[in-house]
Amino acid sequence: MSEGALPKEDAVLRVDDLQKSFGGLAATDHATFAVERGTITGLIGPNGAGKSTLFNLISGFYEPDGGTVEVNGTDVTGLEPYEVADHGLIRTFQTPRKLEGMTVREAMLVGPRNQPGESFVKLFATPGAVAESESTNLAEAERILEEFEIDHLAAQPATDISGGQMKLVELARAMLAEPEVLLLDEPVAGVNPTLAKKLKDQIRRLNEQGTTFLLIEHDMEFVMDLADPIVVLDQGSVLTEGTPEGVRSDDRVIDAYLGGGT
Amino acid sequence: MTVLGYLANGLVFSSIIVLGSIGLSLVYSIADFANFAHGDTMTVGAYAALVTFGAVGGLGGAVLGLPYGFFLALVVGIAVAAVVAVGTEKLVYEPLDIDSIGLLITSIGIAFIYRAVIQIRFGSDFTRYGIQPLRPIEALVPYGVRVTLHDVAIVGSAVVLVAGLHVLLQYTDLGRKMRAMADNPDLARVSGIRTKRVKLWTWVIGAGLAGAGGVFLGLFNQLSPRMGFNLLLVIFAAVILGGIGSVYGAMAGGFLIGMINQLTPFFSGVVDSLPIWPGWLNAALESLVSIEYANAIAFVIMVAVLLVRPNGIAGEGAT
Amino acid sequence: MSLLSDPEAAIADLSRPEKWVLGVSAAFALFLLAALLTGALGPTYFLFLVGLAGMYALLSFGLNAQWGYTGLINFSVAAFFGIGAYGSALMTADSSPIAGGFNPLVGLVVALVLAFVLALLIGIPTLRLRADYLAIASLGLAEVVRLIVLNERWLTNGSAGVRGIPSFFEGWPVLSTFPETMPGLRLVVIPGSPILLETSFWRASLNVLLVLAFAGATFLVLRRAHQSPWGRVLRTIRSDEDLARALGKNTYSFKMQSFVLGSLIMALAGVFYTHLNLYVGPGDLDPITTFYAWVAVILGGSGSNRGALFGGIVIVTIREGTRFLNDVALPIDPAPLRLLLIGVVIVAVMRYRPQGILPPQRELIWPSAVDDAGSDPPASGVREQKGGGDDE
């Protein structure tokens, strides 16, 4: 139905004919698209178009009724979220809950995947290796915090920073997990313009360094400026896909946003 | 006893469980936490009735082997349970600034306070209302059914209360709002329902029914400070079986759990007579399906339901 | 260490609740000392109380590893305590209906294995459930365990319980005969009321030694685990399980590990209780034990090991204080009074200080890593921030 279904040579994420319904209502209706390596792909659509459901299906939080999800050429359909993450797909949440009793630095250190210190046995069998990885991770966390220009927050309780700062920390932490493709769920929702600009710059910088992004965002200005290509979702399926200019001038997109649907 | 006899006992016990489970389910969905003090609210009702009946006496006549005074005591038991629950809501739960898990833990403290006060005042021994126990109804004994007029009164009163609740839920404004809130609290809030007021009425109705259940439990067995807490898990099992938030589900769940509980000796007889192979399995089943494990069976059913259908047997399957 | 070299600075560094707890503890210790010296408190009974406090501290450590770290609402503490107690009692006691007569070390191992198996049996179905369902289900399954212990007489002696349990050190060189070989001592601090230290005293001091060993080892293990990346994943799960999953953590496995670890510690408390009390019965599986542990943990501060220790001492004070009160002052049955106090403490903590009296405050990062990374020592990070605003 949409030209976006054409196979792409170097797709880091491939969604094929994905379906999910809740109580008979199709939330995701044969959605097909791919995210090419090295892009910042935007995922937009009117309220209730099924963007969040799609994210949950891709990242393993929901099990699809049909269709497949491939990350780096590996079929990850039906895997647990942690297994999907192990294939290099990391996601963030629209409204991150604050980590109680942790400093920002500690919250950052949850990011790195498969730390030796996450094995209870290794804590006592090989404490040296645990300490080594912990100090590497700590140094890396502080480096990334500096790059994000939020290193002054490191010792703050994670519960005390603003929502916008939390979004920055979330992005910074996700980078510690070394994602090949990073799914951002409304990265600038409720974030003030200054911080939003900062987030945009960071996403662009990380993209230039090789991270692929797929992001949901309601702020059209933000997404049109940052993302290319853009995938438009309506009523659970891909309506169209293309450059920001192409999407902007597409009548079907305008209809969808005006509530006309089909 | 015959199957019919066990079914009759099950019906009586179910009536009590249903009265308890409706309130627990309503509070679970509308006040949004698992209220571990619900069993002890039943105890409060029972002891309030004990005191009232002791004070007013029989008041002349009797219905179904129960003196008029007992029905007055029943009303007082319902009222006291409701007042205590509303007072607790106003004094303790409402001012708290914590999530539903915090409320759950708080309710355990409340349960202990209710029970401790009763135990300090009345001691920990079993006691009874000063009502002469009746002999089983003669006409039914040949069928293996040994129920007394008191049991008939319990079932009858429970039916009246449940029917009253049904009318309230279906035909009054408050009832519609309660159902809306139980169904989807967030939606109810944005659609302009004064949730605080509905919540308060939920406590009144839920605790009142629990109080009635407690009074009948005291008549069915005996009174003791632990009577309600001991029944709490069975009631939770009923609520979960019926699906949290569904009043009619709670009725169905309470009915089923009460029946299963009282039918355990019958099942035990069935297991004994079945040729189960291998022998060790037979022995294990024979020892586990017995009256001592009647409650345990309910808990295991509850855990199984939680695993397979967290929304209850009638609710939508888990995703 | 710093407390000894520079006590004033060390005390000034404490937060207000810490000072408060320190003050009350010191006053309480002085009170006990005075009672001991005047002979009002028998030294053997005192050691029994210390043992009991250690036991509740162990139970609280166990629950803390589940609820405090990971947020698992386990209402089956009594079942694990009971399985530990029964496991060791049935292996070692003369009156055991099954095995009996084994060395207490065998009992210890068997108890821990049983607790491990029970933790898997309860954990596998319940740890995928929502937090409040876990509470209900675990309370129900604990009741199933209690009913089995009560009714399966061929296995447990049923309501009669198990008697004839040896001391933990039976069969050990030196220690097994230590209480008998020690001479009886007679100390006179205040003329007219001598303090007698006899065999029972030495036996009780061995028990204290045992519980100190159990609790000390547990504390060290927990401290390392808590400040490790492992502990950090658990703390993330407590606040936001979905976040942990999205970051590639197998949360079900972590929850299971946390549950098993806590359950083993609770069983350890049960093993100690067996050899302290020398009798176990089905009453020891009463749900009240579960809620004693809960009060200790939420009062001390969920997630805080020292808080759990403090909570354990408070529980013993409530338990024995009500008995004492009944003996000397008010003729109130101690059982409901305890229940009342427990209830009031739960409600008061949730109302006025839901984070507990001694919440964990220090930043938890593997200690040597902080030095290696050469960053500013974060040990004071949260404390400084909290110092001003958080003390109410």
CA–CA dist A160, A100 (Å, integer): 10
CA distance B185 to chain A (A): 19
The DSSP letter of residue C159 is: G
Same domain, A35 and A146: no
Q: Which residues contact C365 (CB under 8 A, 6 or more apart)?
A: A105, A106, A109, A134, A138, C227, C378
Strand partners, C196: C186
- C-alpha C270/C-alpha C280 separation (Å) is 10
Tally of domains in chain A: 2
Chains with at least 3 CB pairs less than 8 angstroms from chain A: B, C
Locate A133 and state its tokens: 């990885």
Task: Give pLDDT, residue C376.
Answer: 45
| Tens digit of pLDDT at every position of chain B (319 positions) | 788 989 999 999 999 999 999 999 999 988 889 999 999 999 999 999 999 999 998 888 888 889 999 999 999 999 999 999 999 999 999 999 888 999 999 999 999 999 999 999 999 899 999 888 888 888 888 888 888 999 999 999 999 999 999 999 999 999 998 888 887 777 777 777 788 889 999 999 999 999 999 999 999 999 999 999 999 999 999 999 998 888 899 999 999 999 999 998 888 888 888 877 777 788 778 777 888 898 899 899 988 888 887 777 765 443 3
Is residue A6 scored above 70 in pLDDT?
A: no
Buried-exposed string A32-65: b where 16+ CB fall within 10 A, e elsewhere: bbbbebebbbbbbbbeebbbbbbbbbbbbbbebe
Q: Find the CB nearest C248 among A85, A92, A130.
A: A85
Put simply, the answer to whether A109 touches C244 (Cβ < 8 Å) is no
Q: Determine the residue of chain C that is closest to B93 in CA distance.
A: C351
Tell me phi and psi for residue C114, to 5 degrees.
-60, -45
Chain A residues touching residue B319 (CB < 8 angstroms): 22, 62-63
Q: Which chains have at least 3 CB atom pairs separated by less than 8 Å from chain B? A: A, C
A167 in a domain, yes or no? no
Q: Where do we find the tokens 């980078």?
A: A175
Q: What's residue C303's pLDDT?
A: 87
Taking the domains of chain B in order of start, what are their residue ranges? 3-224
Interchain CB distance below 8 Å, B316 and A23:
yes
Mark out chain C residues that contact chain A at CB-CB < 8 A: 221, 224-225, 228-230, 232-233, 235-236, 238-240, 242-251, 257, 261, 303, 359-360, 363-366, 368-370, 372-373, 375, 378, 381-382, 384-386
List the domain range (segments joined by +) for residue A119: 99-158
B95 touches chain C (CB under 8 A): yes
Strand B62-63 versus strand B66-67 pairing type: antiparallel
Does the structure show a pLDDT above 80 at A9?
A: no
pLDDT in tens, chain C (392 residues): 445 566 677 777 777 888 888 888 888 888 888 888 887 788 888 999 999 999 999 999 999 999 999 999 999 999 999 999 999 999 999 888 888 889 999 999 999 999 999 999 999 988 988 888 899 999 999 999 999 999 999 999 999 999 999 999 988 888 888 888 888 888 777 777 777 788 888 889 999 999 999 999 999 999 999 999 999 999 999 999 999 999 999 999 999 999 999 999 999 999 999 999 999 999 999 999 999 999 999 999 888 888 888 898 899 999 888 888 888 777 778 889 999 999 999 999 999 998 888 887 677 888 777 665 544 444 433 433 333 333 33
Residue-level pLDDT at C13:
73
Residue A262 confidence (pLDDT) above 50: no
Whether residues A154 and A75 share a domain: the answer is no
ipTM reported for the complex, 2 dp: 0.92
- The verdict on A20 and A69 lying in the same domain is yes
Q: Tell me the residue type at A63.
A: E
CA B81 to chain centre: 13
- CB atoms near residue A73 (< 10 Å): 10
Shortest alpha-carbon distance between residue A260 and chain C (Å): 35
The CA distance from A100 to C356, in Å, is: 14
**CA separation for the pair C170, C105 (Å, rounded):** 10
φ/ψ bin of C158: left (φ > 0), alpha (ψ from -120 to 50), beta (otherwise): left
| CA angle centred on A171, ends A175 and A222, rounded to 5° | 125
3-state secondary structure of C280: strand
| Rounded distance between C-alpha atoms, residue A148 and residue A139, angstroms | 14
Domains and CATH numbers, chain C: 16-366+379-384 (1.10.3470)
C contact chains, 3+ CB pairs < 8 A: A, B
Q: Are A84 and A199 found together in one domain?
A: yes
pLDDT score, position C375: 46
Is the domain of A93 the same as that of A181? Answer: yes
Judgement on whether residues A16 and A92 belong to the same structural domain of the protein: yes
Nearest to A14 by CA among A200, A225, A238: A238
Q: What is the pLDDT of residue A7?
A: 54
CA distance C80 to chain A (A): 21
Residue A72 forms part of a structural domain: yes
Query: Would you call B306 and C335 a contact, using CB atoms and an 8 Å cutoff?
Result: no
Contact A81 C245 (CB under 8 A): yes
pLDDT reported for residue A256: 85
Of A8-17, A26-35, A103-112, C236-245, where does mean pLDDT reach its minimum? Answer: A8-17
pLDDT at A5 over 50: no
The predicted-structure confidence for A46-72, as pLDDT tens digits, reads as follows 888 899 999 999 999 999 999 999 999
Query: Which 3 state secondary structure label does DSSP give A13?
Result: strand
CB-based contact C242:A84 (threshold 8 Å): no
CATH number at residue A199: 3.40.50.300
Residue A70, Cβ density class (10 Å: 0-12 exposed, 13-18 middle, ≥19 buried): middle
Nearest residue in chain A measured CA to CA from B315: A23
Asked if B317 has any chain C CB less than 8 Å from its own CB, the reply is no
Specify if A172 maps to a domain: no
Q: For residue A21, tell me if it sits in a domain.
A: yes
CA distances from A49 to A159, A232, B23 (A): 32, 9, 39
Closest residue to A155, CB basis, from C250, C372, C378: C378
- Asked if residue A181 and residue A92 are part of one domain, the reply reads yes
Q: Which of C143, C131, C135 is nearest to C294 (CA)?
A: C135
Question: CA–CA separation, A54 vs A43, rounded Å?
Answer: 10
Distance from CA of B184 to the nearest CA of A (A): 16
Residue numbers in A near B316 (CB within 8 A): 23
The predicted structure's pLDDT at residue C1: 43
According to the model, what pLDDT value does residue B317 have?
40
Same domain, A142 and A245: no
Closest-CA residue to C336 (of B105, B81, B39, B113): B113
Q: How far apart are the C-alpha atoms of B250 and B23, rounded to whole Å?
A: 9
Measure CB to CB from residue C385 to each of A105, A138, A156 and give the nearest one. Answer: A156
Q: Are C152 and C80 in contact (CB under 8 A)?
A: no
Integer CA distances (angstroms), A234 to A54, A67, A237, B138, C253, in order: 12, 18, 6, 71, 38
